[in-house]
Amino acid sequence: MKIYDAFLFFNELDLLEIRLNLMNDIVDHFVISESDLTFSGKPKPLYYAENKERFKPFESKIIHQVIRDNPADFTALKRFNPPENKDESCLNMIYGFIDVADNFPKEVLHWGRDFFQRESLHRALVSCADDDIVMFSDVDEVPNPDAVKQTLALFPSDKIYTLRQKEFDYYLNMYKEDNWMGPRIALYSSLKALSLNKIRAIREGGRTLVDSPDVYNGGWHFTSLGGTEKIIQKIESWGHQEFNTDRIKKKVQSRVESGRDIFNRKGSKTLKRIEVDEKNFPKWLVENQGKYAHLINSAPLDSCKGSFLSELLKKMFR
């Protein structure tokens, strides 16, 4: 039995380094999956390949998957008939998942690429044994090593476990007070014929799509880190292209500074700055926080800067 940590990777080099260090003593293999196209269809550098020297201590465990065959049309996916190898068989399965998916319009390419790239993790795992254990997620959904160990002790099991994570936006220590549904952990035999996107959508519309018990204190979802430029790059690259507008991008900096949702979504919470200590974060990160000082907010949160009220007051008292 081997343990795989498989995740999608864009350009989050610091988070990748944090994750590799936290999980190195637990897993046998890391699957780092990156594409030569963003979800929005822009050509993209292979950031891991360009920076692999930085991750040399983990090289023997890393399986680097590069996706170069994003379909140009998701409305008429042609099958391999017959498939000549495991990858073609796997692609046929993935195309089947896409055909029956009802959560995105097939003619919208950015959603198709998002769906396809996640399902392509299957292609990197085709040599797994049925009793291998797979954890799959996005790289910024950093698992809590203690929660992973706790979950691994439950196997063998036919359940697909969900790590519930604390969410942090813009900085490592800006807490959203939210329970994010992060990595899933399961036997390969339980995953190999299922859509990974569908598993991620459990409890969609109040339904339980698979048996997926929650494991709390499951880690940290570090989203939209790296400053204004990185956040705008993410907005221009990810699946949610409805947010890729000049109006939103112009307000990113002020909303980050005030700890508010960059998309101004209804019901979003104002962030809370917390200390980087062992009460809140893993020991390795606490001991190495100096290396990531650029990702830690040490300033008090300005809850008015850039807000609608402050802008209105400026206009009134000019």
Q: Model pTM?
A: 0.88
Which residues, in sequence order, are CB contacts of 96 under 8 Å at separation 6+? Answer: none
140 in the same domain as 114 = yes
pLDDT at 241: 64
Assess whether 193 and 309 both reside in one domain. Answer: no
Chosen domain end from 176, 202, 222: 222
Count of beta carbons in the 10 Å neighbourhood of residue 180 = 18
Joined together, the tokens standing for residue 2 give 């081997």
**Is the Cβ–Cβ distance between 252 and 228 less than 8 Å?**
yes
Residue 20 to residue 165: CA distance in whole angstroms: 18
Both 159 and 284 in one domain: the answer is: no
Which range marks the domain in which residue 292 is found? 227-316
Q: HSE (CB half, 13 Å, CA atoms) of 187?
A: 14
Look at residue 253 in the predicted model and tell me its pLDDT. 77
End-to-end CA distance of the chain: 69
Q: Where are the beta strands (DSSP E) in 171-223?
A: 174-187, 214-215, 219-223
CA distances, 133 to each of 39, 69, 187 (Å): 28, 27, 4
Confidence at residue 50, expressed as pLDDT on a 0 to 100 scale: 97
Q: CB neighbours of 34 closer than 8 A, spacing ≥ 6?
A: 8, 9, 10, 44, 46, 47, 48, 64, 65, 66, 67
Q: What is the pLDDT of residue 255?
A: 72
Q: Tell me the CATH number at 21.
A: 3.90.550
Nearest CA among 314, 229, 217, 300 for reference residue 258: 300
Same domain, 98 and 127: yes
- Domain stop point among 222, 256, 281: 222
CB proximity list for 236: less than 8 A, separation 6 or greater: 38, 40, 42, 244
The closest of 23, 313, 272 to 6, measured between CA atoms, is: 23
Pair 189, 235 in one domain: no
Structural domain total, the chain: 2
Do 179 and 304 belong to one domain? no
Are residues 236 and 178 part of one domain? no
One domain for residues 139 and 183: yes
**pLDDT tens sequence for the chain (318 residues):** 999 999 999 999 999 999 999 999 999 999 999 999 999 899 999 999 999 999 999 999 999 999 999 999 999 999 999 999 999 999 999 999 999 999 889 999 999 999 999 999 999 999 999 999 999 999 999 999 999 999 999 999 999 999 999 999 999 999 998 889 999 999 999 999 999 999 998 654 544 556 789 999 999 999 888 776 677 776 776 556 666 677 777 767 777 776 777 776 766 778 899 999 999 999 999 999 999 999 999 876 554 344 434 443 344 344
234 and 146 inside one domain:
no
